[in-house]
């Protein structure tokens, strides 16, 4: 393994080790109800950002597939969704636990929560749709078109709608910029590295899945040629 | 006299307010047990990284052998 190609994986590891060390050690704002759980910011919120980045990669590759008909874009798009959904599920589970101990219920009827749930369903539908079409080209084309639709749905359901109603989530409800999150400079010092670390981790996993899929496909092609 | 009483009252309320500051795991930290959590989480993370690293290498090898076949 050459360092040139893999340096970002090392960055990813260093950032995440830093995250758990600084994440547990730094002084955090003392807030009622949240208390120490405010540290979940580094682990729960980052899951969602990682998911959003992976889904963005996916929709870009879907558009590239539609204009180039290159199958490798289709593989990237689908594996990015698979990894993104994985991070989304982690986000839902961690959020659920956090909500139980701060808001008092595993699930609340919060706009952000329901939006996240609808988003997950939209992407699960993408996976089901892909698996239900046999013919390769048709599968790639239809799922690429659906993916664009799903991405827009996600933006609306977790980026727009929660801001138009009241939400228990900090920063949602009303119209916040990134800066109005209840975050002080201490939290940011860990939050941003954690964000980059988890995004890189997501990309790493996605890349492994893409490479495996390509190997699988080439084996299948060989089998049909023989 | 009245002013002194007010002053004392204000001082007292400020003390009470300080005591009401949200509770954090300060004692837990003072005992150094937070390092146990960090070590455990670190081991889990290291395990995941090692897993990904070896998977990466394995896929590398398969890709190389596939290219040779062609």
Domain count across chain B: 1
Residue B65 covered by a domain: yes
Task: Provide the residue ranges of all domains of chain A, joining segments of one domain with +.
Answer: 12-217
Does residue B11 fall inside a structural domain?
Answer: no
Whether B34 is covered by a domain: the verdict is yes
> pLDDT (tens digit, 9 = 90+) per residue, A164-193?
777 777 766 554 544 455 667 888 889 999
CB–CB contact A24 B38 (8 Å): yes
- Given a cut of 70, whether residue B60 has pLDDT beyond it is yes
Partners of A218 on chain B (C-beta within 8 Å) are 66
The alpha carbon of residue A100 and the mean position of all alpha carbons in its chain are separated, in whole angstroms, by 22
In this prediction, residue A182 carries a pLDDT of 60
Q: Which residue on chain B is closest to A37 by alpha carbon?
A: B24
* Helical residues (DSSP H) of A70-184, grouped into ranges: 71-102, 111-132, 136-154, 161-164
Q: Do B24 and A30 touch (CB under 8 A)?
A: yes
**What is the residue range of B56's domain?**
25-70
Name the residue in chain B with its Cα closest to that of A10: B49
Determine, for residues B63 and A204 on separate chains, whether the beta-carbon distance falls below 8 Å: no
Residue B12 counted as domain residue = no
pLDDT level of residue A3 (50, 70, 90 thresholds): confident
- Are A159 and A178 in contact by the 8 Å Cβ rule? The answer is no
- Both tokens of A133, joined, read 């079409």
Domain annotation covers residue B18? no
* Torsion from C-alpha of A191, A92, A126, A149, nearest 10 degrees: -60
């Amino acid at each position: 393994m050459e360092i040139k190609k893999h340096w970002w994986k090392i960055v990813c590891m260093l950032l995440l080790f830093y995250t758990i060390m600084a994440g547990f050690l730094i002084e955090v704002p003392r807030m009622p109800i949240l208390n120490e759980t405010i540290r979940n910011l580094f682990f729960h919120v980052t899951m969602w950002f990682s998911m959003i980045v992976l889904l963005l990669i996916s929709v870009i590759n879907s558009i590239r597939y539609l204009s180039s008909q290159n199958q490798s874009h289709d593989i990237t798009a689908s594996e990015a969704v698979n990894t993104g959904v994985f991070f989304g599920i982690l986000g839902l589970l961690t959020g659920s636990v956090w909500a139980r101990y701060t808001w008092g219920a595993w699930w609340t009827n919060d706009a952000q929560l329901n939006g996240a749930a609808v988003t997950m369903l939209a992407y699960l539908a993408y996976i089901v749709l892909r698996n239900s079409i046999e013919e390769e080209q048709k599968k790639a084309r239809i799922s690429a078109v659906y993916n664009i639709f799903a991405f827009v749905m996600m933006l609306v359901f977790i980026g727009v709608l929660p801001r138009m109603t009241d939400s228990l989530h900090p920063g949602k409800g009303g119209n916040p910029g990134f800066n109005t999150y209840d975050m002080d400079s201490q939290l940011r010092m860990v939050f941003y590295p954690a964000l980059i670390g988890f995004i890189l981790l997501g990309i790493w996993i996605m890349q492994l899945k893409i490479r495996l899929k390509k190997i699988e496909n080439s084996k299948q092609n060989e089998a049909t040629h023989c | 006299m009245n002013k002194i009483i007010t002053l004392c009252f204000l001082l007292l309320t400020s003390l009470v307010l300080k005591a009401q500051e949200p509770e954090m795991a300060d004692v837990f930290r003072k005992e150094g047990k937070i390092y146990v959590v960090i070590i455990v989480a670190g081991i889990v993370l290291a395990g995941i990284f090692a897993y990904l690293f070896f998977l990466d290498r394995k896929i590398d090898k398969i890709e190389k052998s596939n290219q040779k076949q062609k």
